[in-house]
Chains A and B, each alone.
Chain A
Amino acid sequence: MSVLIDIKYSLRLLFKAPKFTAMTLSVLVGGLSISLFTFSFLYSTLYKELPLPGGATALALTTETIGISMNMDPNQNLLSAYEFRQIAKTQSSLIEFGLYESRDARLSFEDTGKNIPTTYVDSGFFKFSRTQPIMGRTIQQEDMIVGATPVVVISYETWQNELSANEDVLNMSIRLNEMLTTVIGVMPQGYHFPGVAKIWLPLNQSQLNTKQNTSSYFTAYARLKDDISNEQATKNLSAVLDQLYQQSVELYNQPEAKKVIHLRSYPMEQVNGIGNTAFIFLNAVAWSILALGCINVGNLLLARSIERQKETAIRAALGASSKRLISQLMWEGVIITIVGAILSILLVGAALDYTEIMLHSWMPNSIVFWWHWGMDKETLAMAIVVTLVTIALSAFLPAWRSAHQDINTTLRDGTRGAQSKKAGRLSRLLVTIQVFLVAFLMLIGALSGYVSQSFINLEIGDDYSDTMRVTINLPINKYKTPQEQAQLFETLLDRIKSDSSVIDAHATTFNHFPITLSEFDYDDSRERQSIDTFTVIGDTEFSGIKLVAGRHFNRRDKIGARKVVLISQSMANRYWPGESALEKNITIEVEGKDESLYIVGVVSNRMNPRSIFGKLDSEDETYISGLQFINPRQRIYYKTIKGSVKTEGIFYRALFEIDRNIELAQTVQPAERNRNIMRDSMRLTSKVIFGTGLFSLMLALVGIYGLTANSVAQRTHEIGIRRAVGATDKNIINMFIKQGGRQLITGLGLALLLFALISAVFHEFSVGLIPVYLYFVLASAVVICLSLIVMLAIYAPTRKAVVMEPSSALRYE
């Protein structure tokens, strides 16, 4: 009964001050929503179990060659078939262990076709995923034998969308990679293991039974034996793998490194194992924002409880127990928090649904099948925990503090007892914490905003608009000699160029070779500089790498002719400043062999950024003739006339006219696709960061304004006394600014300290992506901006209190 009275009383108070209630509520809902959304999104992304029977124990087995960058080793993270066989023979940690490879296949119809995410699997794959087909059978040992009938298992979605849900789908023949393939099974709806697969083809036995030097590379799946820990298994398997790798370093001249194994859950593997760090970091940011919100709400409620201090003291004097008093004061906070929590849950639910729709439509073939975002029981549980914590922080504490005041002091002193002194101290501490949190968020936000902006706006120096890209791998058993391989690529490029909508085409490979220029001394004598080296068949003019002097490659730059090279302008300027680089010689170590090359052309600069954290590399680039340094794996680019349609088809027609059995390592796709996806996601990230930063700044503004206004209001009487004994307006405003300044400096100082620490780590990690002075610029900008805002938030309420006549201030209670 008494509780009901308390609730009714609290409700009346809340409705009586609608502005206060609305402000408190919006601050709370903002903070709660941000932290809940972050938690839910990351939890669903990283920690949800694979939604398959036995999904919790399914592990992805990947490798890492420590000491070699991604670019040096195209097989980084993968396991060779040879290594797999050797490990499988001796290992005793795994009960299930197999290989698969994910890459697109082309599904062709009469006159059109499309790329379908495909996984090539071994016979244990479907058993590993503990899933039965809803129709037909899965891939068996005999499907993998050389010469077996080509078969395919399709997903429910492929059946429904690509094959019009045909009832007689089993034993139907479809054209996959221009091969008539029999459908043998349909998997259940939603099954896309190991990630985004829409169809499954058998791996070929011949690919698996190879020697190390001719081996293909795969991803592996694995399941641990019951009695072994992940750490132990990782250790055992890594030891075997590294031994194998060291052999191939010796035998096949592989780069020296240490090769280890990672056994991770599929969700963790999807984010390269950085999941834990990301989860902790992003949650820390989100929780900081919630803390800001809590501080504000707590403060607002504290201000209210101080207003009612005298009432509380009178009640206590009349015999109310402190339990009763706390309950009475708490209800206001409890009601606000619960209403805020309900609103947040609704808001977060909607935001998660929107995220689900947006991400799935934005990147239909990159969102793995277990990624689903929405309100779930984990998020609800977290919401309850967060709500309880918020109640404790923002409602219980002020109530407790207020109920445990010294009744005597309060009654004797009115609202101006030693209690308000304590409250003042608490409120100052809160301002300090707020300044610290906001400054920290702003610093981190500014840093990451700068990084993503600089990446978005990066001028690479090339132009791949209206350009398609495809990677092919020539079968070396068919095209044995370099001459044959070169011949094929030339013919293929000619065929592509003969299409009326194609402007130009070239084939290229990327390498990172050591360079020596015999005429020059190196400052760095320890090791020779490595340099980006591309082989090119055709010319690069259409892709934006333009001729500055000399000539492009032509058909005569082939094996037997003098070996030639093009260099970038920055390189020409570096080594031959003020003179022409043409007709000079440079030496590049191509695949372990020193090659003396004759410079025939200078081309425009181009950057080759490896990752956002990789050093934005120098613009020194060399191009060597693809007809002299021949690689069976080439990436082909072709540019079409603006507005051309079905430009993928141009390549497929050209290739199939020449040889139907050439394997695509990557299907035809717009050359800028990856870059665009990267930029889009950067843009989104940068917007989210900006929004979050702005929200936290707004929180701080509201919070500090509220805290100061509250402290000024509480001190109105004191201001009256001070004015009565001669204080000027300036004296009073100075007093508050000085006090706020102290908190500002403390909070900012702590945040800057932490930022300096993080910057140092980041600087190290990003290999100097951001010049050092920029950290200072960012920090100064944040300091100035925040100082202005804090000062404004302090000045405004003080100014208001000061205009009051001292006689009125003295009457103020």
Chain B
Amino acid sequence: MSALIELKDITKTFLTEEIETRAINSINITINKGEYLSLSGQSGCGKSTLLSLLGLLDASTSGTYHINGVDVSSLTRDQRAKIRSEQIGFVFQSFNLISDLTIFENVMLPLTYQSGLSKQVITDKVNDVLAKVEMSHRKDHYPSQLSGGQQQRVAVARALVNDPTIILADEPTGNLDSKNAQAVLALFDKLHQDGATICMVTHDPVSAKRASRCLEMFDGRLIADNANIPSHRNSVPSLEAVELAAS
């Protein structure tokens, strides 16, 4: 099995007003193609930060990071932007659609930052993914005219449009009611069945269970990594789990 993503000894420290926050503390993860990961843990334990590092939205303080065997920890800003536009798909908790652009334009955005795509190819791809998330009928609307669930489906479409190597989702159901949340999760299930690699941050143990592999974090460390085993209901990790991570 080929390792799609390999994090080795990744640490991230924030410096704000002389106070040092170690958001990520020497984390090692290997992600294989086609895996569906869930990442859970207390609020503030570093899940979003880890996702940012995975998505190259931020640079780690130390450690190495390989995507498809390429070391990306030492790339220039432009090279990282290129990888983001070609290999990463992001879904945020607060949707993060651009309010001045239509649904169609929002979804098209990642493709406009890739070079050498014809207009026809772009249009086809966008229509394709919009159909996949069942939002084709709203493509000329603006985000503010859509419900939260609809906006999140559009955000998923945007994350898919560039055929990413990995889809990163940061609490994608956090702002949604349960009905809409189910719809989005069902979408992820379907993507997983179609072979996509997904890493999803979630609070909700039920959602986490849908993944093929469950990671759990505490205070910047990875404390559990269980294939197909549901995580604990309580957010405070067991003592043995903490010890496991420390060892």
Contacts and interface: CB of A to CB of B under 8 A. Distances in A.
A417 interface: yes
Interface residues of A, number: 28
B128 interface: no
A416 B99 contact: yes
Interface stretch (A78-86, A107-115, A346-354, A717-725): A717-725
B85 A726 contact: yes
B84 A725 contact: yes
Contacts of A718: 98, 100
B188 interface: no
Contact of B100 (A421, A723, A726): A421
Q: Which residue among B57, B88, B97 has the maximum number of chain A CB atoms within 10 Å of its CB?
A: B57
Contacts of A725: 84-85, 90, 109-110, 113, 158
A727 B144 contact: no
Contacts of A724: 55, 57, 84, 90, 96
Contact of A421 (B58, B92, B99): B99
B179 interface: no
A728 B82 contact: yes
Given A409-B144, A418-B142, A810 B81 contact: no
A728 B75 CA distance: 13
A407 to B, nearest CB: 13
Task: Please indicate which of the listed interface residues A412, A725, A727, A730 has the most CB atoms of chain B within 10 Å of its own CB.
Answer: A725
A260 to B, nearest CB: 63
Interface string B143-158: 0100000000000001
A723 B88 CA distance: 12
Interface in A724-769: 724-731
Contact of B58 (A417, A721, A806): A806
A721 B99 contact: no
A721 B81 contact: no
Q: Is the interface of A mostly helix, strand, loop or mixed?
A: helix
Interface in A399-432: 409, 412-413, 416-418, 420-421, 424
A727 B114 CA distance: 9
A728 B81 contact: yes
Contacts of B59: 805
Given A418-B142, A805-B57, A807-B58, A727 B98 contact: no
Contact of B85 (A424, A720, A727): A727
Contact of A806 (B57, B82, B113): B57
Interface string B81-122: 110111010101000111110000000011001100000000
Nearest to A425: B100
B233 interface: no
B12 to A, nearest CB: 10
Contacts of A720: 96
A409 B82 CA distance: 34
Nearest to A808: B58
A420 B57 contact: no
B113 A731 contact: yes
A724 B159 CA distance: 10
Nearest to B109: A725
Contacts of B158: 725
Contacts of B57: 723-724, 805-807, 810
B100 A810 contact: no
A805 B114 CA distance: 20
A413 B100 CA distance: 12
Nearest to B85: A726
Contacts of B84: 723-726
Q: Which of B59, B99, B110, B113 has the most CB of A within 10 A?
A: B99
A101 to B, nearest CB: 74
Contact of B96 (A420, A721, A726): A721
A289 B41 CA distance: 59
A726 B82 contact: yes
A721 B95 CA distance: 10
Interface in B2-52: 49, 52
A472 B98 CA distance: 85
Nearest to B79: A728
A807 B99 contact: no
B78 interface: yes
Interface in A519-553: none
A120 B17 CA distance: 84
A726 B99 contact: no
B77 interface: yes
A418 to B, nearest CB: 6
B78 A728 contact: yes
B99 A420 contact: yes
Given A731-B113, A805-B59, A810 B77 contact: no
Contact of B81 (A417, A418, A726): A726
Give the one of A724, A730, A806, A810 with max B CB within 10 A. Answer: A724
Given A409-B144, A810-B96, A722 B58 contact: no
A723 B109 CA distance: 10
Contacts of B85: 725-727
Greatest chain B CB density within 10 A among A417, A805, A807 is at A807
Contacts of B78: 728-730
Given A806-B57, A807-B58, A727 B99 contact: no
Nearest to A717: B96
A218 B44 CA distance: 95
Contacts of B113: 722, 725-728, 731
Given A421-B100, A810-B92, A810-B96, A726 B58 contact: no
B7 to A, nearest CB: 16
B144 A417 contact: yes
Contacts of B90: 724-725
Contacts of B96: 717, 720-721, 724, 810
A607 to B, nearest CB: 62
B158 to A, nearest CB: 7
B222 to A, nearest CB: 20
Which of A409, A413, A424 has the most B CB atoms < 10 Å from its CB? A413
A306 to B, nearest CB: 13
Given A409-B144, A421-B100, A806-B58, A722 B109 contact: yes
Given A413-B99, A718-B98, A726 B114 contact: yes
Given A420-B99, A728-B113, A413 B144 contact: yes
B144 A807 contact: no
A728 B144 contact: no
Chain A CB within 10 Å, residue with most, of B81, B96, B109: B81
B99 A805 contact: no
Contacts of B98: 718, 721-722
A420 B86 CA distance: 30
Contacts of B100: 421, 424, 718
A154 B162 CA distance: 96
Contacts of A806: 57-58
A727 B58 contact: no
Interface in B198-219: none
A729 B80 CA distance: 11
Nearest to B92: A810
A452 B226 CA distance: 85
Contacts of B144: 409, 412-413, 417-418
A145 to B, nearest CB: 90
B58 A805 contact: yes
A724 B142 CA distance: 20
A413 B148 CA distance: 11
Interface in A413-460: 413, 416-418, 420-421, 424
8 contacts: A424-B100, A723-B81, A723-B84, A724-B96, A726-B81, A729-B77, A805-B59, A806-B57
Given A421-B99, A718-B98, A727-B113, 6 more contacts: A413-B99, A418-B144, A723-B57, A725-B109, A726-B84, A805-B59
Please give me the 3 A-B residue pairs with the lowest Cβ-Cβ distance, nearest first.
A726-B85, A807-B58, A726-B113
